[in-house]
């Protein structure tokens, strides 16, 4: 348990430093973009250390479906804002994303 807490604190510090030292006007977003690959590698290292090969493969497959779902969500918000208010576009995109999650849950099982 202490190892997870230390990893959480370390990850938070990395994220805070990346945000602080970023040169963009959108400090938080560019900091996230900077540190996201590092955090992904740290997460995958923990997964490889504590998971069997089958569990690791399942986790990676879920990650792929999650990444595609996020891309679908952002694309839907972007596209729907041409035809409706942003708040309605986000709401409709959330419903589309929920349908995607439900369908991907069936496909993974």
pLDDT band at 95, cuts 50/70/90?
very high
C-alpha to C-alpha distance for 19 and 1, rounded to whole angstroms:
27
In the chain, where the domains are located: 1-50, 52-109
Percent of the chain with pLDDT strictly greater than 70: 71
Judge whether residue 91 has pLDDT over 70.
Answer: yes
CB 56 within 8 A of CB 47: yes
Reported confidence tier of residue 93, pLDDT bands at 50, 70, 90: very high
The pLDDT of residue 34 is 65
Question: Do residues 49 and 80 make contact, with C-beta atoms less than 8 angstroms apart?
Answer: no
């Amino acid at each position: 348990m202490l190892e997870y807490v230390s990893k959480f604190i370390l990850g938070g510090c990395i994220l805070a430093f990346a945000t602080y030292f970023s040169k963009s006007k959108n400090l938080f977003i560019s900091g996230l973009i900077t540190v996201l690959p590092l955090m992904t590698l740290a997460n995958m290292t923990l997964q490889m250390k504590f998971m069997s090969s089958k569990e690791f493969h399942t986790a990676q497959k879920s990650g792929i479906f999650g990444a595609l779902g996020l891309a679908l969500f952002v694309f839907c918000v972007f596209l729907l804002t041409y035809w409706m208010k942003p708040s309605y576009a986000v709401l409709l995109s959330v419903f589309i994303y929920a349908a995607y999650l439900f369908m991907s849950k069936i496909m993974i099982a």
